Each structure stands twice: as structure tokens, then as C-alpha cells.
Structure 1
Amino acid sequence: MNDTTALATMGFSRANHVGIVTSNLDASIRFYEALTGKKAAPQDKIGGKRMAGVLGLDKALIRYATIHLDNLNIDLLQYEAPEPSKAQYANNQIGAMHLCFEVDNIDDAVARLCKAGIRLQGDPITFMEEDGLKAGFGTAVAYFDDPDGTHLEIIAPQGPFKRTGN
């Protein structure tokens, strides 16, 4: 068994959740509920010495809420202790990440975002040969941010960008 097979059999072939640290949990819940159409549940607090230790912190007290999508959970986290600081990063910075939502139709999704007052980072594009791809033509993408500046994307995948199965 090679290393890749061993990791896959251990469960590294599926994702459970993405955690997003927020400055205002209630505002983030409203944003992500409106964006996804899903309700946040559960909502709770977690903390203490053991939690701080696993996070590599001296102390930890976190208010959180989870939004269950069909294939991934979004954990919204508001740290009460230690006091959080704001991270800022551009899409091209090493370590920067984004969360991408798969949509059926980019135009409908963009219209929904605009109607909700969400500003795109730029105009949506549909990949063509001139973009340097060897495959995936017809895939459309757009980027935007949540209220705290977390980078988000929507994609209407085609070709090799389209997932098969779960």
C-alpha cells in the first residue's frame, strides 16, 4: 500500500468542515444563512484548558455555529478569548485560502448575490482557451468576500472541474 492509498483509507479523501473566524457571530450567521439558504445549528460555546491546548493557545473561549451544507459544514467561530486580531490577505498571498460554493448557473447565482447587496471582486468569467487552460472550458467563476473579508468563490463547473459522485 502506497502513502496515498494509506491516507485515503484513513479518511483523508473527504472533508468535514471549514472553520471561519468571525468578528460578529450573529452577523456572520445572517450572512451565511442568506447565502446558503440553510439554518445555523447547533449554536454553542466551547473553551477551557483542553480546547486551548489543542489549538496551541494559552486560553480559549469560542462562540460558534455550524451551517450544514450537502457536502461540507461551515463552522463560524467568534473568539471571546483570546481577543482576536484581524488577518488581511490577498488572493495571491501564500497561505491565503478561499471557500468555493458550487452553483448550477453562474448568472442566477450572481444575480442573487447582487440582490443581497454582495459586491463581487470583479466581473464573473467563463474559462476559454485564451485563459491558458487545457480543459475545463465553459466553467464559470466569480469571487466575493463575507462581512469579515473571508474570500469566497462561486463556480459553475464544466469538464474536469465537474465532480463525479459525492
Structure 2
Amino acid sequence: MSSLTAHHVGITVSDLDSTLSFYRDVLGLAVVTRFEVGGEAFSTAVGVENATGRFAHLDGGDVRIELVEYDPVGDAHSGATLDQPGATHVGLSVDDVDAVVADLPPHVETLSDPQTTESGTRIVFLRDPEGNLVELLEV
């Protein structure tokens, strides 16, 4: 088997533009590229008949964050809490969790105030506009 390296973490969203605005304008991630994909090969690969997708790739440091809006839109997936099997989140390291949280716009929901775990890592979880969980951690 060839050697594997992480390329991206994908998040399916219902509104690419508003979610992209959050990751770019609130969290400060740079947009690497935007593109659209469709056609038979794409539909077959994703297992969705007549699928098209609008994509945005953001610079997440060592890995890209991929936001994708599909047409047709599937059923909503509830990943309300982290302890549910299949739950996902994106982890982003920051220099100062408390400073980042202090600078968040008032409409950004956090699960709690920043906490220091037993391992000494300072963390906070927040939700993007679609309810996806984002962990900010100070290491």
C-alpha cells in the first residue's frame, strides 16, 4: 500500500456561502480554492444520483477544511453531542483559546467557557452556522 497523508476534512453543509463566511471571517481561515463538480463519475463516486457539489477548501495548516454543498440535498444529520457514535468535529489549534473566544461575535455558540483538561490542554467547542462542532485547542 502506498503511504497515506491527510489531505482534507470534509463538512457537508446546506448553505456554502454562510458557512464559508464563518470559517473565513470569524475563524480567519484562508480560502485556498472554490470549485463545482458534477457529472456521472462524481454522482457514482458519492453514491447520489445526479449529484453536483459546490466546494470551498480552506487552509487549516497541515490539512485542508473542505466545505461542500450538495444538490440534491440529503436528509439532515444530527451530530448534536460528541458522545454519539459517528459524531465528528474539526479541531483547530490556536495560540490563546481565551483570546479567540473573547473575540468571537456574540452569535457564535460555545458549549462552555474554555476549560483546561487533565492533560493540560486548554479547549473550547463551538458550533458553526450549521451546528457542526469545531474544537479550538491551545497546545
Q: Mark yes or no: TM-score above 0.5.
A: yes
Taking structure 2 as the reference length, what is the TM-score of the superposition? Answer: 0.89
**What is the aligned counterpart of 2:75 among 76, 85, 88?**
85
| Count of residues paired in the alignment | 138
Larger relative strand fraction:
2
Q: How does 1:24-39 map to 2 (within 5 A)?
A: 24-39=15-30
Contact 2:10 2:68 in 1 (8 A): yes
Paired with 1:53 and 1:68, the residues of 2 have a C-alpha distance of 28
Structure with the higher helix share, 1 or 2: 1
Q: 1:144 to 1:53 in 2, by over 3 A?
A: same
| Percent of aligned positions that are identical | 29
Q: CA deviation at 1:116?
A: 5.6
Residue 43 in 1 paired to residue 34 in 2?
Answer: yes
Aligned 8 A contact 2:14 2:73 in 1: no
Most deviating of 39-48 and 94-103: 39-48
Match of 1:153 in 2: 135
Cα distance in 1, alignment partners of residues 59 and 106 from structure 2: 21
Unaligned runs of 5+ in 2: none
> Quick one: distance in 2 between partners of 1:15 and 1:36?
21
- The two structures have a TM-score, normalised by structure 1, of 0.76
- Post-superposition Cα deviations, 1:8-33, rounded to whole Å, max 9, x if no partner, equal xx333x31101111111110111110
* Within-5 A mapping of 1:1-166: 10-12=2-4, 14-80=5-71, 82-89=72-79, 90-113=81-104, 115=105, 117-128=107-118, 136=119, 138-157=120-139
Distance 1:79 1:105 in 2: 35
Structure 1 gap ranges (5+)? 1-5, 129-135, 158-166
Shift of 1:151: 1.0
Describe the SS at the equivalent of 1:33: helix
Which structure has more RCO (C-alpha within 8 Å, separation ≥ 6)?
A: 2
Moved segments of 4+, more than 4 Å: none
Larger Rg: 1
Query: Counterpart of 2:126 in 1: which secondary structure?
Result: strand
| Corresponding residue SS for 1:34 | helix
TM-fit CA distance, 1:117: 3.2
Moved more, 66-75 or 91-100: 66-75
Q: Tell me how large the CA RMSD over aligned residues is.
A: 1.7
